[in-house]
């Protein structure tokens, strides 16, 4: 039976401690070329803090399956069991490659919503996505062409298409998409890894990103949906099988591969929480900085019920972090 009653307490500040822990643990692996070691450190740190958060959580979206990385697995129970029943989507490191290579754009992220509210994509690893801020709601659609979406968003924003910036993952599969968006007169921001941050940026007034388009990870779509609900943005997604075998598995499991999944289809909850902490620098968050025995983290924390968005800069004593095995 669906239990989608909203949590009766604000979990946001508890959750930021979770992403801070994962970011701090992974920062020792930045630039060292070891994706699995970085991901493992972040997972272990995230799990240790999750276990003391006052909630009865079930991991619905656990990152790691598509590349055999260490993970918080789907179905894992986390929290101390005393609080509200909730669904959890996690990505201990969104951007393992940037972390390993010392590039920008990596962060640790978690989303929490009412029990039974999060969409589980099953065997489908990727989705075709479209995300915008509030102005795009009702104006854009995955049923339109990329060119049409640029034009419609420009109309909704009362601007020229040349003033629209579209974030797209820098992948060979997106070459035609990139050319079509440019043909509409829009600017493109190519992103290397991880599209959750880009989706969130579409709905932040201070951002230069207006729309996200293209194929990216299914787990990231669910996480982004929770975050966008907090800031009145929206995401649309369509399951995107990689091959015939994956397609058949999805059909056998009852998935509709033609349906457009909207924000509320991905996370159907009136009370969502989203927290993220930067590992390396990005437009959304600054990465972890260390100096004089201290580590400084930069995080964003949001709640859909109150529409509150907090940015938090925290100073951590490295000596204390070592006692908790969060830093080497």
Binding residue positions for substrate: 94-96, 126, 171-173, 193-195, 217
User: CA–CA separation, 296 vs 40, rounded Å?
Assistant: 21
- List, in sequence order, the alpha helices (H) in 51-167: 96-101, 146-157
Alpha helices by DSSP H, listed for the chain, are 12-27, 35-50, 96-101, 146-157, 175-183, 196-201, 218-230, 244-252, 263-266, 318-323
Cβ–Cβ under 8 Å, residues 208 and 165: yes
CA separation (Å) from 300 to 20, 53, 96, 227, 313? 10, 18, 20, 10, 9
Whole-number Å distance between alpha carbons of 302 and 230 = 6
Q: Which of 291, 302, 266, 321 lies closest to 89 in space, CA to CA?
A: 266
- Known binding positions: 39, 63, 91, 94-96, 126, 171-173, 193-195, 217, 220
Q: What residues form the annotated binding site for Mn(2+)? A: 39, 63, 91, 94, 220
What does the alpha-carbon distance between residue 194 and residue 220 come to, in Å, rounded to a whole number? 8
> Please, are residues 25 and 322 in contact by the beta-carbon 8 Å criterion?
no
Q: Which of 286, 227, 280 is nearest to 93 (CA)?
A: 280
What is d(CA 282, CA 201) in angstroms, rounded to the nearest whole number? Answer: 11
Judged by phi (left if over 0) then psi (alpha if -120 to 50, else beta), residue 174 lies in alpha
């Amino acid at each position: 039976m669906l239990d989608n009653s909203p949590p009766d307490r604000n979990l946001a500040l508890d959750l930021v401690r979770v992403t801070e822990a994962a970011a701090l643990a992974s920062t020792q692996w930045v630039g060292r070329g070891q994706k699995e070691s970085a991901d493992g450190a972040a997972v272990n740190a995230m799990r240790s803090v999750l276990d003391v958060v006052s909630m009865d959580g079930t991991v619905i979206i656990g990152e790691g399956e598509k590349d055999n990385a260490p993970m918080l697995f789907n179905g894992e129970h986390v929290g101390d069991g005393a609080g509200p029943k909730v669904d959890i989507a996690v990505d201990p490191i969104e951007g393992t490659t940037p972390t390993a290579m010392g590039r920008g754009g990596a962060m640790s992220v978690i989303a929490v919503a009412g029990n039974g509210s999060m969409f589980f994509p099953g065997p489908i690893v990727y989705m075709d996505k479209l995300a915008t801020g509030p102005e795009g709601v009702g104006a854009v659609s995955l049923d339109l062409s990329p060119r049409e979406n640029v034009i419609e968003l420009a109309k909704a924003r009362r601007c020229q298409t040349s003033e629209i910036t579209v974030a797209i993952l820098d992948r060979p599969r997106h070459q035609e998409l990139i050319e079509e968006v440019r043909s509409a007169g829009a600017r493109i921001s190519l992103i290397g890894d991880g599209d959750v941050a880009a989706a969130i940026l579409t709905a932040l007034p201070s951002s230069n990103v207006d729309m996200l388009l293209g194929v990216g990870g299914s787990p990231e779509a669910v996480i982004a949906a929770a975050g966008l609900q907090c800031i009145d943005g929206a995401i649309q997604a369509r399951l995107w099988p990689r091959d015939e075998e994956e397609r058949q598995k999805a059909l056998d499991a009852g998935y509709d591969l033609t349906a457009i999944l909207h924000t509320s289809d991905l996370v159907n909850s009136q009370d969502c929480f989203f927290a993220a902490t930067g590992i390396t620098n990005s437009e959304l968050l600054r990465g972890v900085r260390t100096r004089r025995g201290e580590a400084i983290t930069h995080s964003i924390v949001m709640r859909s019920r109150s529409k509150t968005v907090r940015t938090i800069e925290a100073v951590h004593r490295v000596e204390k972090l070592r006692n908790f095995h969060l830093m080497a």
